[in-house]
Amino acid sequence: MKKILIIEDARNIRMALEDDFRFEGYQVESAATGPEGLEKALDLDLDIIILDLMLPELNGLEICKELRRRNIGTPIIMLTAKGEEVDRVLGLEMGADDYMTKPFSPRELIARVKAVLRRSVEKPFTEKILKVGELEIDRERYTVSLKGEPVKLSATEFRLLLFLAERKGKVFSRDQLLDAVWRDEAFVEPRTVDVHVRRLRSQIEDDPAHPRYVKTMRGIGYSFSDK
């Protein structure tokens, strides 16, 4: 039985979600405040977290950031009543796996949870550390090092690097990368991939103008190589 933690201060929403997920066969834990939610997220063995952005005392972004800082990779779906793109982007950059804007359909949220859980278990790669050339990518700690020195990447840059590195030699179009890395994030255009590739190259390439790792396949997209 999958265990889900719902961190939501609105009592009516929290209780409705508890009932919905119990009906779907989940073991449900819940919290009404940020500190209570963080404590449970740290202490419990969870499969997924539903995290409201606007919480009393400690907001959802701070909780997400703290969990990822402690290398807790439990999938997170963030709920927000705000429609601004910046809130969605911040949540994803902090390490959230998906988001939904209130008001939302409970059935859609359940479908999103199932999709995120499927992605979290569909991992054909079992080694903790992926080594490519002088790069080392730690899948569990979400860290990257180059020549033994740490490389600071955003959550999206890390996902992009890991996706390409795990599929070394294969070429992916911008649309394919959007589907794989950005998933269902709204308001993302194909050129967003180019921006993140440039940022990634500035961090991992000795000469970003002549990259060793992230290659451009003109007219197609990008691939990963260590040659």
> 97-107: per-residue pLDDT in tens?
888 888 889 99
Q: What is 129-224's CATH number?
A: 1.10.10.10
pLDDT value at 203 more than 90: yes
Cα 182 to chain centroid distance, Å, stands at 8
User: CA angle at residue 43 from 19 to 70, to 5 degrees?
Assistant: 115
Which position has the token pair 């190259």? 201
Q: Record the pTM.
A: 0.56
Q: Determine if the peptide bond prior to 103 is cis (ω within 30°).
A: yes
CATH 3.40.50.2300 in the chain, residue ranges = 3-121
- Mean of the pLDDT values across residues 173-186? 78
CATH 1.10.10.10 in the chain, residue ranges = 129-224
Determine contact, residues 117/131, Cβ cutoff 8 Å. no
Cα 90 to chain centroid distance, Å, stands at 11
- Using CB atoms within 10 A of its CB, is residue 189 exposed (0-12), middle (13-18) or buried (19+)? exposed
| pLDDT at residue 158, rounded to an integer | 92
> 25-39: per-residue pLDDT in tens?
999 999 999 999 999
Q: Which H or E element spans position 150?
A: strand 149-151
- Mean of the pLDDT values across residues 10-20? 95
> 77-133: per-residue pLDDT in tens?
999 876 655 566 777 777 788 888 888 899 999 999 988 887 765 544 556 888 888
Using DSSP bridges, classify how beta strands 129-132 and 171-173 pair: parallel, antiparallel or unpaired.
unpaired
176 vs 29: which has the higher pLDDT: 29
Considering the domain delimited by 3-121, tell me its CATH architecture: 3-Layer(aba) Sandwich (3.40)
- How many percent of the chain have pLDDT more than 90? 48
CA 12, CA 122: separation in Å to the nearest integer?
34
pLDDT value at 177 more than 80: yes
